[in-house]
Amino acid sequence: MTNNRSWIPYLLILPSVAFLGLLFVVPLVQTIWLAMSDNGMPSLANAERMVNDINFARSVRNTFLLTIVVVPVQLCIALVMGTLVAKVGRGRETILWIWTIPLGISDLAAGLVWLSILQNTGYFNSALFGLGIIERQASWLSYQTPVALFLAIAIAEIWRGTAIVMVIIVAGLNQVPKEFREAAEIFGAGPWTRFWRITLPLIRPALQSALILRTVLAFEVFAVVYALGGRNFPVLVGEAYYWQNQNQNYGVAAAYAVLIMIISLAATLVYLKAIKVDPERLP
């Protein structure tokens, strides 16, 4: 009986495969061709142009730096938040709901919110002035204050992107059976041991998805950086945007897009290898 119907699963996923094929694979191939050709001939001219551009090295460095700083911090905060909320009985839903508010705000809007706080005439300066710490407007987002600018962007990104990690972690924590923890408690394991030896290994699949999702998104960071730093803090997607829109050179823009895709795929592979998940625990 089941053998006769072995085609049904394939039939059911056919629409989504066709949809992806049409709207993802075709443009992908076109983008790769756009990046790797020049006047209809295969060529590396665009890639060369990209690598030799003055902002290339800076944008690669900035993007990686931001990812390396932001993702671990977000993961730690999300783990703390998830563990905290697990102990809460009443009001749990309300707390989760409040924590996920940044998730519902668009990137650009989040950037603009932080801009209104950190710009010269923003709330942060007003507060410092009110407390008598500064005598006149200080600028935090200019090319002369790269550290402050980086911190501002990192904080805005952490604020905006932690909720998605937390949602995945909370879902993972919910799946850890109570019995393991109770058994460990009986054998005298303290809270730290329980966390390191039981909770963390058991939420590996959730950690893996959260890390992959968050890292790929971190490599694609753009709107927050654009709102806060403009061109003072070049990042990869930003450069792709400028080559496409300002310089109107679609080839170099496509080269950037392909580079971002390669980096994202590589990061995903690294996570898949580094955080091995027991196949039996896969959904």
Partner 1 sequence: MKRLMSFGILASTVLAFASPVLAQTVFVSTQLRPIEEATVVREELLQDVGKVDYVVEEPPQFAVRMEAERQAGKHTVSLVGALHGELSPLADKDQLEPLDDLATKLAAAGMPQSVLDLGKLGKSNQQYIPWMQATYVMAARKEALEYLPAGIDVNALTYDQLIAWGKKLQEETGQPQIGFPAGPKGLMARYFQGYFYPSFTGGVVRTFQNADAAAGWEKLKELWTYVNPNSTNYDFMQEPLAAGEVMVAWDHVARLKSAISASPDDYVVFPAPAGPKGRGYMPVIAGLAIPKGAPDAAGATKVIEHLTTPDVQLLTASRVGFFPTLNVQLPEDLDPGVALLAGAVTATQASKDALISLLPVGLGDKGGEFNKVYMDAFQRIVLQNEPITDVLKAQGATMTKLMTDTKAPCWAPDAKSDGPCPVE
Query: Given the rule CB under 8 A, which residues bind partner 1?
Result: 54, 120-121, 135-137, 139, 141-145, 226, 229-232, 242, 244-249
In contact, 207 and 277? CB cutoff 8 Å: no
User: Given the structure tokens 């919110």, which residue do they identify?
Assistant: 113
**Which of 12, 54 has the CB closer to partner 1?**
54
User: Measuring CA to CA, which residue among 256, 164, 160 is closest to residue 213?
Assistant: 164
Cα 227 to Cα 55, 58, 94, 99, 116, distances in angstroms: 18, 18, 30, 23, 10
Tokens representing 275? 């955080």
Report, in Å, the least distance between residue 253 CB and partner 1: 11
Report, in Å, the least distance between residue 64 CB and partner 1: 20
In the chain, DSSP finds a helix count (H) and a strand count (E) of 15, 2
**Which of 231, 281 has the CB closer to partner 1?**
231
**Which of 125, 199 has the CB closer to partner 1?**
125
Report, in Å, the least distance between residue 123 CB and partner 1: 14
User: Given the structure tokens 């060369």, which residue do they identify?
Assistant: 48
**Which of 6, 248 has the CB closer to partner 1?**
248
Report, in Å, the least distance between residue 112 CB and partner 1: 13
